[in-house]
Structure 1
Amino acid sequence: MDKDSKVSITVIRRLPKYYRYLGDLLKKGINRISSQELSKMTGFTASQIRQDLNNFGGFGQQGYGYNVEELHNQLGRILGLDTVYNAVIAGAGNLGQAVANYKGFEDAGFKVLCLFDKNPKLIGLKIREIEIRDVDSLEEFIKENNVEIGIITTPKENAQDIADTYIKSGIKGIWNFAPADLKVPEDIIVENVHLNESLFTLSYFLKNRSDYTT
């Protein structure tokens, strides 16, 4: 919707958490929930939840709360999860194989078509029926298979070259696990997952935890 472009990135980053908790409620057979109850689950205030959801329209009813299934479905559509996205992974080492093995990735509508690597010992192997191919065929494969998402799980020194190949091939979305800051055009969307940075942050809070406890 047109309103999406005006929504704060901090709001957008909270939506997947709402979606996950609502999915858990559906599995438990819970049909209705209030913003106060959702607040206790998510850690966000009830007011914040209502403000976040109001960015995308009115979902709740005063005195009733939210219909769990309806809100879950609506958030799925807002997040684009009602669409199947074809994806490829460049880097078929331990991390790349772990991403390919992650069943939740597929359940959310992201279909990994192929892995790519330059290691001849890996080429031809399969991870959950997903073949590992020579990285030299990456560009051709993307163009022939309507790939929308490029995943990078290569070492740092190879990440920019892979990103350049993705962009050249027409990919507009990159999920980057490499510890590198990619240089891309403004119209390319990059979501970084820097595992080391997250671990270092955890280390900081562990070392200084007395400053953050009451």
Structure 2
Amino acid sequence: MAKKFKDISMAVIRRLPKYHRYLKELLDKEVYRISSKELSNMMGFTASQIRQDLNNFGGFGQQGYGYNVEELYGEIKKILGLNISYGTVIIGSGNLGQAIANYTNLQKHGFNLLALFDTNPKLIGMRIRDVPIYDIDEMQEFIDTNNINIGIICTPKEFAQDIANKLVKANVSAIWNFAPIDLKVPENIIVENVHLSDSLFIISYLLNNQEKEQWD
């Protein structure tokens, strides 16, 4: 029996996209059946961990058979909510905002990018992959009339909290934040912070300590 959402740990949830990605690769290779052991060899999780993770959602394997890859992929897709379309906007149309707008997997997985917003008059009126860039002053009205679920913040740090406040006021449900700041929003607003420098600093730490160990 599947657990309730509130009982599933964030660690399990953060592993789900990896299951989605590897299962898609198996389907692309026309592999339609796989055991938990074979899946563990691919993904780097133990077979026991895979079974535990999937059991949170009801369990999908059959003893002696393993997993039907196509069925499991479909179930993971539904669990992740990728069978739904989400109205999405990007705030901040500089290099990072444009790079995300050009990321084709957004549309492929149901994140329907409808607009970008900026304050730079040189950018306003441009189109990125046929998606228009509007003046930031038009954001509230656009969100109100276009059923926007997700706001992606790609602004400098000093503007990010103000933008987040405006997105909350416009009744956006979730924020994907690329600005290097931890946003303060109401508890009912979902925020996923992507601090690119944090990942780079982890690499720096690991590289630094690996080199130290080589000299010890």
TM over 0.5: yes
2:104 matches 1:103:
yes
Per the alignment, residue 185 of structure 2 pairs with 184
RMSD of aligned Cα (Å):
1.3
Cα–Cα, structure 1 residues 212 and 163, in superposed 2: closer, same or farther, change >3 Å? farther
Cα–Cα, structure 1 residues 211 and 186, in superposed 2: closer, same or farther, change >3 Å? farther
Partner SS, residue 159 of structure 1? helix
Contact 2:3–2:56 (CA under 8 A) maintained in structure 1: no
Cα–Cα, structure 1 residues 170 and 6, in superposed 2: closer, same or farther, change >3 Å? same
TM-score (norm 2): 0.96
2:39 matches 1:35:
no
Percent identity reads: 62
Report the CA distance between 1:105 and its aligned residue.
1.2
Report the CA distance between 1:14 and its aligned residue.
0.3
2:207 matches 1:206:
yes
Partner SS, residue 80 of structure 1? coil
Per the alignment, residue 163 of structure 1 pairs with 164
Per the alignment, residue 139 of structure 2 pairs with 138
Partner SS, residue 208 of structure 1? helix
CA distance in 1, matches of 2:5, 2:80: 10
Per the alignment, residue 87 of structure 2 pairs with 86
Report the CA distance between 1:17 and its aligned residue.
0.1
Gaps of 5+ in 1: none
Contact 2:153–2:177 (CA under 8 A) maintained in structure 1: yes
- Within a 5 Å distance, the mapping from 1:2-13 to structure 2 comes to 3-13=4-14
Report the CA distance between 1:201 and its aligned residue.
1.0
CA distance in 2, matches of 1:42, 1:100: 29
2:73 matches 1:72:
yes
C-alpha offsets along residues 45-79 of structure 1, whole Å, 9 cap, x if unaligned?
A: 00000000000012000010000000000000000
Q: What amino acid is aligned across from residue 117 of structure 1 in structure 2?
A: D
Q: What amino acid is aligned across from residue 36 of structure 2 in structure 1?
A: S
Report the CA distance between 1:89 and its aligned residue.
0.2
CA distance in 2, matches of 1:122, 1:63: 58
Please identify runs of 4+ aligned residues in structure 1 that moved more than 2 A: 210-213
Count residues with an aligned counterpart. 213
Gaps of 5+ in 2: none
Report the CA distance between 1:211 and its aligned residue.
7.0
Contact 2:51–2:59 (CA under 8 A) maintained in structure 1: no
Name whichever of 203-212 and 42-51 sits farther off.
203-212
